[in-house]
Amino acid sequence: MKLNSNYDNIKSSYLFVEIANRVKKFSAENPSADIIKLGIGDVTRPLAPCVVEAGVKAVKEMGDAKTFRGYSPDSQGYEFLRDAISRYYASFNVKIAPHEIHVSDGAKSDCGNIVDMFDDGNVVLIPDPVYPVYLDSNVMSGRKVIFCDATEEDDFAPLPDKNLKCDIIYLCSPNNPTGAAFSYEKLKAWVDYANSLGAVIIYDAAYEAFVTEKDVPRSIFAVEGARTCAVELCSFSKTAGFTGTRCGYTVVPDELCGGKLAKMWARRQSTKYNGTSYIQQRMAEAAYSPEGVRQCRENILAYQKNANLISDALTEMNIYHTGGKNSPYIWLKCGMDSWDFFDKLLAEANVVGTPGSGFGKNGEGFFRLTAFNTYEKTAEAIDRIKKIL
């Protein structure tokens, strides 16, 4: 038996391991230091009360013969949830039919699995810096990957280079790690570029709930022409705090590849996935109820308050940065090597962030702070940072 040799080509990322090691060493040498973590990429606020209530109810239904549910009627998700997601899109004027929505255990699974739909000979275009899963999941299949530079020049929301030919394009907006978000106009340029090439855009909308600016689309399907070139991955992780609960979905529009991609994805999921738990589907549905929307919004607002605090302080200090406005991430220019800045911040302010170089070559000289700590800790961290910079 021969193993998949493409796995030998994945670079091991020691970013978060290296961070943990440096923090551990510093703590051991400075046991009294009160370290504040602004490197957290995970939500910290509990699930909304009505989501919890729906979860408790669903679990209890599974314990009663009269309401017990076995396998989902199909692997695409219960109608009640697909209808709720369709209405959610409608609330910001994007028309997605319930049958175009495929519910899953999370956007990361879909992001990893969607590549199975495409021939291994396709060329993949990925922005740099970026969330490492896009690259790794394609290296695992042996696809050729080329990069598109995102830099200070374009505020980390680059336009397509029309001289580059590619077949599959990854876009993440609002972006992880830069927090930069595409305006309608910029995203339209990408949609037009993809349509002109016959390429498909894999659009990661995981952070859409953080969008505040009117000109920033919350879905690629708000953009004219997207239905012939894009799939959209989305998640309840950031919208409703589901990072440990697990639920997400993928939108595959009818127009894409003449309907063939939707059929292939449904076949993939019914063969290699057995549907999302009834419990999580009820919890996700509750997050879309009027009460759920209000309660989840409270959590988002709390994170946004932290993001604004960080962003405003950086503006005041004249430090160039992206994100914060439409994102829980703030990406700042540190004016030195990313790891040197990490060490400086840790040593002098006892604040932990994430070196930008860990997300690609264009991340060198940049640094990511996140809005997921408490308001008090975030404010204290900002005070300390102001004193040392």
Name beta bridge partners: 329.
370
From 243, 268, 227, 300, select the one nearest 108 (Cα to Cα).
243
Contact positions with its own copies (CB under 8 A) in 182-241: 198-200, 241
- Rounded distance between C-alpha atoms, residue 153 and residue 138, angstroms: 28
Select the span of 154-162, 256-264, 307-315, 361-369 touching its own copies (CB under 8 A): 256-264
Report the residue from 33, 62, 97, 159 that binds its own copies according to the rule CB under 8 A. 62
Location of structure tokens 């962030």: 353
119 binds its own copies (CB under 8 A): yes
CB of 74 to its own copies, least distance (A): 11
Q: Which is nearer to its own copies, 45 or 344 (CB)?
A: 45
Select the span of 264-272, 306-314, 329-337, 379-387 touching its own copies (CB under 8 A): 264-272
Report the residue from 31, 244, 318, 387 that binds its own copies according to the rule CB under 8 A. 244
117 binds its own copies (CB under 8 A): yes
2 binds its own copies (CB under 8 A): yes
Instruction: Answer whether 385's CB lies under 8 Å from 350's CB.
Output: no
Q: Supply the DSSP string of 140-172, one letter for each residue.
A: TTT-EEEEEE--GGGTT-PPP-TT---SEEEEE
Contact positions with its own copies (CB under 8 A) in 314-373: none
φ and ψ at 287, to 5 degrees?
A: -65, -20
CB of 156 to its own copies, least distance (A): 24
49 binds its own copies (CB under 8 A): yes
Contact positions with its own copies (CB under 8 A) in 121-160: 121-122, 133, 136-137, 140
φ and ψ at 340, to 5 degrees?
A: -65, -40
CB of 216 to its own copies, least distance (A): 26
Select the span of 174-182, 183-191, 277-285, 314-322 touching its own copies (CB under 8 A): 277-285
Size of the site for its own copies (CB under 8 A): 75
Name beta bridge partners: 331.
322, 368
Q: Which is nearer to its own copies, 245 or 311 (CB)?
A: 245
Q: Interior CA angle at 187 toward 310 and 137, to 5°?
A: 80
CB of 178 to its own copies, least distance (A): 21
Q: Which residues contact 17 (CB under 8 A, 6 or more apart)?
A: none
64 binds its own copies (CB under 8 A): yes
CB of 131 to its own copies, least distance (A): 11
11 binds its own copies (CB under 8 A): no
- Rounded distance between C-alpha atoms, residue 231 and residue 277, angstroms: 23
* Per-residue CA distances from 268 to 13, 15, 32, 118 (Å): 29, 33, 53, 12
How is residue 371 written in tokens? 């809005």
CB of 2 to its own copies, least distance (A): 4
Report the residue from 15, 27, 35, 44 that binds its own copies according to the rule CB under 8 A. 44
Bond before 160 cis per omega within 30 degrees: no
- Maximum CA extent, the chain: 64
CB of 36 to its own copies, least distance (A): 17
43 binds its own copies (CB under 8 A): yes
Q: Which is nearer to its own copies, 18 or 364 (CB)?
A: 18
* Per-residue CA distances from 282 to 34, 50, 53, 163, 259 (Å): 40, 11, 10, 47, 29
Report the residue from 276, 326, 354, 370 that binds its own copies according to the rule CB under 8 A. 276
- Rounded distance between C-alpha atoms, residue 176 and residue 368, angstroms: 9
From 337, 311, 309, select the one nearest 180 (Cα to Cα).
311
